Structure 1
């Protein structure tokens, strides 16, 4: 299986393949950069079709964390980890303790936290074997509400850029994926007066949002064809691709999913079509910002974390303005901003 010559391999400092026969652990830890500080990024538990798919995911996600942490002005580098398997079948204390020992073996080069199919309780089990975890209950806790707040403010920043005001009353938003972050996002949007169109693979998640926020449920594939103002991808990545871009009627793409663009070229295609894209790792940085404040001098402060998350509005506004001035896609402007910060320091 190729690693070094993959496009996604961007001079990663370490890619560690982990296994533990007793617990059944199969995991990959990718440390992209520690230039600004220890690599920090969540652990994702997913039933990948192949090992190659898992490598592809962890390499992309870890590089994204380097850029996310830099643009969020956090003293963290970028890393990510994936545990391979079906969450409903393999979760156990032995599994997470084994993973914790693997983290401990890296000596602090990488700190993990919760991500898809990993809960704060799972991280607490890892914590029995290592201190190299963040996002623990009783400290910064669940990052989802902060990710949702940043995403909501990012939608407002995009609407402000396009329309000159932030009033979302009557604005139509299509939300794809209704996990913990997206549920909180829908609450913000509903309270702001937006009209919600939602979909998810889990019917119970759809029913909850429909009941709580007067949303309209639509089909999984139908979400791309809706006559809405904002498409908000909040599930897994690569939903912005050749097929979907041709179908989208929304003029704003702003959601909390990672790696929303299937390929880098899709960012420029969006710009040419007049669709404003809020770069994923900028708009969804609220969770990692909140986790940072677990490590801040003086202890965790939700107030300080919230204030930092509110800065996402200004960061995106800067990226949107530079995109217009420099006639470059917003995702390339975000990458340039990240690279400038990594090169010059915080």
Structure 2
């Protein structure tokens, strides 16, 4: 694990155990050069403890890159609460996590992520002020979706020559809070939606409300479309799945979509434009960060509007330098983070 921390530039890794609640959690702090580490809290099952630690480390680095490219005065961090097999009451878990976050004295600020909700953040807030995405602040998911929608328009312009989405076939993988909100924006813009989700209720809802066409989860990547939009968990783009893709671009909300940076070169070789995840999906972080600072809804909306422009800049650099957008975004972020 130390090797992974060194290779990713991770500053600290905290392992948290609370006997009374049964909490087992990991907090990774990647970089605090620009400010305190800010990043969401996951509540998921993992095959083993090492997988949870590796997930937290990789996600924390992504948050540092995301904050840097979004121009936010925060570093990157991530919390992972390992979900027990049986959870009668999750509140004590998050209250215990809140007590530990308080002990970090402001070095890490948490927020909603996969598997958590505003009620969980409220439990954390009983013991620390270093939390956002509470009921009072609101769920950042709609802001993530709005930013991704803006990024998809920029991606369509860069790859297809127009940001008009009417009539485009867009395949959405994952219809959670972000994925469904994004689907609503895309449908309102006239896109034809192909959707998949592990929960059939989400798919049925999209069929009824958005006239979406369902596709089996295992078949969506190989289904012909204009833009493939991953909105579930990470590492969905690997050598095998990229070989199956039949799209012009990939632009989604999921974190850590690439199983490795080499996959970006495979996408480039196939002529598939890739929107770096920590650029396009930064809307939730922007909302969490600026809400934590007490900024207005107008200021947050204005900052969200810069996502599409930043993505256009990344594409322009990539074309000029003959590199993949993923590698360009990483280089830009590392330049900002460099001491």
Name the CA distance, whole Å, in 2 between partners of 1:225 and 1:92.
Answer: 38
Q: 2:213 aligns with which of 205, 208, 216?
A: 216
Q: 2:331 aligns with which of 330, 333, 336?
A: 336
Corresponding residue for 2:277?
280
8 A Cα contact 2:156 2:163, kept in partner: yes
Determine if the alignment matches structure 1 residue 267 to structure 2 residue 264.
Answer: yes
Corresponding residue for 1:78?
76
Name the CA distance, whole Å, in 2 between partners of 1:14 and 1:78.
Answer: 11
What is the CA distance between 1:91 and its match in structure 2? 4.5
Corresponding residue for 1:162?
159
Determine if the alignment matches structure 1 residue 99 to structure 2 residue 94.
Answer: no
Name the CA distance, whole Å, in 1 between partners of 2:150 and 2:301.
Answer: 12
Corresponding residue for 1:192?
189
Q: What TM-score does the superposition give when structure 1 sets the normalisation length? A: 0.95
Q: Secondary structure at the match of 1:48?
A: coil
Moved more, 173-182 or 162-171: 162-171
Name the CA distance, whole Å, in 2 between partners of 1:314 and 1:259.
Answer: 21
Q: Deviations over 1:162-190 (max 9, x none)?
A: 12211111100000000001111000100
8 A Cα contact 2:121 2:134, kept in partner: yes
> Are residues 234 and 87 of structure 1, via their aligned partners in 2, closer, same or farther at CA, if it must alter by over 3 Å?
farther
8 A Cα contact 2:274 2:326, kept in partner: yes
Name the CA distance, whole Å, in 2 between partners of 1:8 and 1:191.
Answer: 45
What is the CA distance between 1:294 and its match in structure 2? 1.5
8 A Cα contact 2:279 2:307, kept in partner: yes
What is the CA distance between 1:138 and its match in structure 2? 2.2
8 A Cα contact 1:45 1:86, kept in partner: no
8 A Cα contact 1:150 1:312, kept in partner: yes
What is the CA distance between 1:87 and its match in structure 2? 8.0
Residues 248-259 of structure 1 mapped to structure 2, 5 A cutoff = 248-259=245-256
Name the CA distance, whole Å, in 2 between partners of 1:48 and 1:318.
Answer: 37
Corresponding residue for 1:309?
304
Residues 78-157 of structure 1 mapped to structure 2, 5 A cutoff = 78-86=76-84, 89=87, 91-139=89-137, 141-157=138-154
What is the CA distance between 1:92 and its match in structure 2? 2.1
Corresponding residue for 2:49?
51
8 A Cα contact 2:5 2:11, kept in partner: no
8 A Cα contact 2:38 2:289, kept in partner: no
Q: Number of matched residues?
A: 339
Name the CA distance, whole Å, in 2 between partners of 1:320 and 1:190.
Answer: 25
Structure 2 gap segments, 5+ residues each: none
Q: Deviations over 1:219-270 (max 9, x none)?
A: 0101011110010000000111111111100110000000000111001111
> Are residues 129 and 93 of structure 1, via their aligned partners in 2, closer, same or farther at CA, if it must alter by over 3 Å?
same
Q: Deviations over 1:27-70 (max 9, x none)?
A: 00000010000000000011001111101100100000000000
Name the CA distance, whole Å, in 2 between partners of 1:82 and 1:328.
Answer: 33
Q: 2:11 aligns with which of 10, 13, 21?
A: 13
What is the CA distance between 1:89 and its match in structure 2? 2.1
Structure 1 gap segments, 5+ residues each: none
Q: Secondary structure at the match of 1:12?
A: coil
Residues 234-249 of structure 1 mapped to structure 2, 5 A cutoff = 234-249=231-246
8 A Cα contact 1:159 1:165, kept in partner: yes
